[in-house]
Amino acid sequence: MKLLTLNFLTCAIKTCKSSPASFPLHPRDAELEVVEADLNLAFLKNILPRLMWDELRVIASELGLPALPETPPSKADLSIPSPTAPAPATTLQLDPEAIDAPENPPVVESDVEEETPSQTAVDLHRILLETCITEGKLVCGNCGHEYAVKEGVANFLLPGHLV
Amino acid sequence: MSRPEDILPPDLFYNDTESRKYTTSSRIQKIQSSMTHRALSLLSLTSPSLILDVGCGSGLSGEILSQDEDSGTPGGPHVWIGFDISASMLGVALEKEVEGDLFLADAGQGVPFRPGTFDAAISISAVQWLCNAETSEESPAGRLSRFFNGLYASLRRGGRAVCQFYPKNDLQKKMVSSAAVKAGFGAGLLEDDEGTKNAKTYLVLTVGGGDVDGDITGVVRGMEGVDVMDERRRAKDRKRGEDKKGSKAWIMRKKEQMERKGKVVKTNSKYTGRKRRIAF
């Protein structure tokens, strides 16, 4: 399960719906995996305003990933306006080594009229769409219910009395 | 023709053999892919979006969502999240290494995502399963309303959902669409090849916005053989148009009703339904 998905998941139990603690679900005993995917700059720009950045930072720290910057990157940070311009100063200081990833992030070829993705975009893509939880548990901060994750598939089936 | 919904609940019906049969049948693959393309064209997405696939099964529809624009997916490649109640189906999806995230979840228990998550939602041949309840604790209406309420909340404003489903009869069609309307969606029901054996029903749902005429979705505008249901407007109209009990219009209506029933009714005159003068 991608970290992007985890940034949108809440507890499924009815009584947790009204509680702010039901989001985010906290990963426990999680095994991580990096699955290579194509960088999609338009999607990143689309999803950026909907991300809960603070919660993403909390989850990244719980998973033992390198700390994310305190403020979310803006849309302008994601692309390099012209090939000659220097990279934006606010890159996510992500160390690819920390999550047993290949050393060089993949160089993504952009279309002719599209902007080139910046290092920020590459890092954001890595953490949101390539870092996946394969095994472990997701725990609700409110009721403490544990959702098991197996082979990347989380089990959200609930017994009848909790629906 | 037998309906799988009537045989077993979905998690038991789609066991390992049935899931494999479903996924490898080229006939089903072809139908699913054409329905997914149709649903995508109804969603009219222009940029890469986050899509929810309800009842994703083995990811037949999800594979199409992950394709790029050149392969016939408008606005693609999209990122999708799918859930299904059948573990065997998800197992087949895992073997195929689909790109979307998978969940084992029951749509009738709600949609566990925070509000405003998805740009769009798609559901191919799944919603009819919600019209069955397997235990006495649950009811089809309750399952449908939990699903549509959850879906409504998890879509962003201006988002759209297209649910293709196989209704058993008109009653079921009505039950599904009215549950969606009650949840707050603007709903349009679209039927391809109506009246034939290959009839396909699409429920097109929109969140927020809306035009003055009944066709909120806009996708069925100018199409023939399309019923637009807007429960909210009908209720409002009825309230406004209803005659006050005892008024002249009310009396006239009642007399007409009785006449139609074949009762003996006095002929109307200028005195019919007129106010009596106060006696004192």
- Residue pLDDT tens, chain B, 280 long: 578 888 888 888 899 888 888 888 999 999 999 999 999 988 888 889 999 999 999 999 999 999 888 888 888 789 999 999 999 999 999 998 899 999 999 999 989 999 989 999 999 999 999 998 888 888 999 999 999 999 999 998 888 899 999 998 889 999 999 999 999 888 888 888 888 888 899 999 988 754 434 555 556 666 666 666 666 655 555 555 677 888 899 999 999 999 999 999 999 999 998 888 888 7
Residue B275: which domain range?
A: 243-279
**Nearest to A120, CA basis, from A86, A147, A84:** A86
Same domain for B275 and B178, yes or no, is no
Same domain for B93 and B219, yes or no, is yes
Same domain for B182 and B79, yes or no, is yes
- Chain B residues whose CB is inside 8 A of the A42 CB are 47-48
Residue B46's CATH number: 3.40.50.150
Distances in Å between the Cα of B43 and the Cα atoms of A138, B77, B157, B175, B263 are 32, 14, 14, 23, 53
Same domain for B206 and B269, yes or no, is no
Residue A160: which of B112, B117, B135 has the nearest Cβ? B135
Same domain for B208 and B247, yes or no, is no
Interface of A with B in 87-126 (CB under 8 A): none
pLDDT in tens, A70-89: 888 888 888 876 554 444 44
Q: Evaluate whether A120 touches A92 at the Cβ level (below 8 Å).
A: yes
Neighbours of B142 (CB within 10 A): 15
Q: A11 and B81: CB-CB below 8 Å?
A: no
Q: Evaluate whether B110 touches A12 at the Cβ level (below 8 Å).
A: yes
Given this model, what pLDDT does residue A114 score?
59
Type of residue found at B148: F
Residue A156: which of B49, B104, B114 has the nearest Cβ? B104
Same domain for B190 and B216, yes or no, is yes
Q: Evaluate whether B272 touches B248 at the Cβ level (below 8 Å).
A: yes
Strand partners, B204: B162, B188
DSSP characters over chain A: -BHHHHTTB----GGGTT-GGGSSPEEEEEEEEE------HHHHHHHGGG--HHHHHHHHHHTTPPPPPSSPPPGGGGEESSTTSPPPS------GGGGT--SSPPPPPPPSSSPEE-HHHHHHHIIIIIEEEEEEEEE-TTT--EEEEETTEEE----GGG-
| Residue B12 touches chain A, beta carbons under 8 Å | no
- Chain A residues whose CB is inside 8 A of the B73 CB are none
Dist CA B152 CA B229 (whole Å): 17
Structure token digits, residue A77: 């940070």
Same domain for B156 and B273, yes or no, is no
Q: CA of B36 to nearest chain A CA: how many angstroms apart? A: 21
Residues constituting chain A: 163
How many Cβ pairs within 8 Å bridge chains A and B? 84
Q: A40 and B135: CB-CB below 8 Å?
A: no
The residues of chain A scoring below 70 in pLDDT are 81-114
How many domains does chain B divide into? 2
| Residue A2 touches chain B, beta carbons under 8 Å | yes
Same domain for B204 and B270, yes or no, is no
Structure token digits, residue A138: 């997701």
Same domain for B22 and B50, yes or no, is yes
| Residue B158 touches chain A, beta carbons under 8 Å | no
Strand partners, A116: A80
SS3 of residue B148 by DSSP: helix
- As a CATH number, domain A3-71+119-162 is 2.20.25.10
Residues constituting chain B: 280
Neighbours of A129 (CB within 10 A): 23
- Chain B residues whose CB is inside 8 A of the A38 CB are 77
Q: How many C-alpha atoms does A81 have within 13 Å on its Cβ side?
A: 6
Same domain for B202 and B267, yes or no, is no
**CA nearest to A2 within chain B:** B101
Q: B112 and A156: CB-CB below 8 Å?
A: yes
Q: Evaluate whether B182 touches B231 at the Cβ level (below 8 Å).
A: yes
Same domain for B187 and B267, yes or no, is no
**Nearest to A49, CA basis, from B156, B159, B113:** B156
Same domain for B186 and B264, yes or no, is no
Q: CA of A87 to nearest chain B CA: how many angstroms apart? A: 25
Q: B138 and A160: CB-CB below 8 Å?
A: yes
Q: Evaluate whether B211 touches B205 at the Cβ level (below 8 Å).
A: no
Distances in Å between the Cα of B238 and the Cα atoms of B180, B232, B233, B242, B253 are 20, 10, 9, 6, 15
Q: Evaluate whether A99 touches A32 at the Cβ level (below 8 Å).
A: yes
